[in-house]
Amino acid sequence: MADPRTRVLPSVDDTEALGRELAQTLRPGDLVVLDGPLGAGKTALTRGIAAGLGVQGRVSSPTFIIARAHRAGQRPDGSPGVPMVHVDAYRLAGDLDELDSLDLDTDLNHAVVVVEWGKGVVEHLADRHLRVQLVREPESDVRTAIWEWIG
């Protein structure tokens, strides 16, 4: 696969814009694994991906829910949208039974699955995945995204 790509993201709008851009290449069955510390912008990026896929419903930080399914709507260009399942694996803390019970492999038959805190936990669910790492500097809004397809 191609080398990792990198982009500096000065503001949250830039992060959402990258998400919209990445979404243009995503199809049902694609797994996206988001990596990076608290507040790095994983949910912000997911919001952009959701907008690019054209899903329904607001993307929020799933603090009390582990996975939220968003129905397909319409992509920004008017073409049919793709459903998205947004998972926050933070509270799973590597609990593989609980991960199993989410049935993400079933979701991957028809949806894009985006997993925050999924690195090292969900990669086995698909033949390949898009890994996006978000890096943040202390006391700055600037984030850097590094992404590549793995597998």
Ligand X SMILES: Nc1ncnc2c1ncn2[C@@H]1O[C@H](COP(=O)(O)OP(=O)(O)OP(=O)(O)O)[C@@H](O)[C@H]1O
Instruction: Specify the stretch interacting with ligand X by CB under 6 A; choose among 8-16, 50-58, 102-110, 120-128.
Output: 8-16
CA dihedral 46→18→127→88, nearest 10 degrees, is -20
Whole-angstrom distance, CA of residue 85 vs CA of residue 69:
4
For residue 44, the 8-state DSSP code is: H
- Establish if 75 lies at the interface with ligand X (CB under 6 A): no
Does residue 15 touch Mg ion according to CB under 5 A? Answer: no
Instruction: Give which of Mg ion, ligand X, none residue 30 binds (C-beta under 5 to 8 Å, depending on kind).
Output: none
**Can you tell me the distance from the alpha carbon of 92 to that of 43, in angstroms, rounded to the nearest whole number?**
17
Q: Which C-beta is closer to ligand X: that of 21 or that of 141?
A: 141
One DSSP character per residue, 51-112 reads: HHHTBSS-----SS-SEEEE-B-B-TTSSB---EEEEEGGGGTT-HHHHHHTTHHHHTTTSE
- Window contacting ligand X (CB under 6 A); options: 33-41, 65-73, 76-84, 121-129: 33-41
Please report, as residue ranges, which positions from 76 to 135 form the binding site for ligand X (by CB under 6 A).
116
38 binds ligand X (CB under 6 A): yes
Q: Interface with ligand X by CB under 6 A: which range of 5-13, 20-28, 48-56, 73-81?
A: 5-13
CB 84 within 8 A of CB 30: no
Task: Work out whether 141 is an interface residue with ligand X (CB under 6 A).
Answer: yes
Q: Which does 38 bind (CB under 5 to 8 A by kind): Mg ion, ligand X, none?
A: ligand X
In the complex, the residues that contact Mg ion under the rule CB under 5 A are 42-43, 61, 116
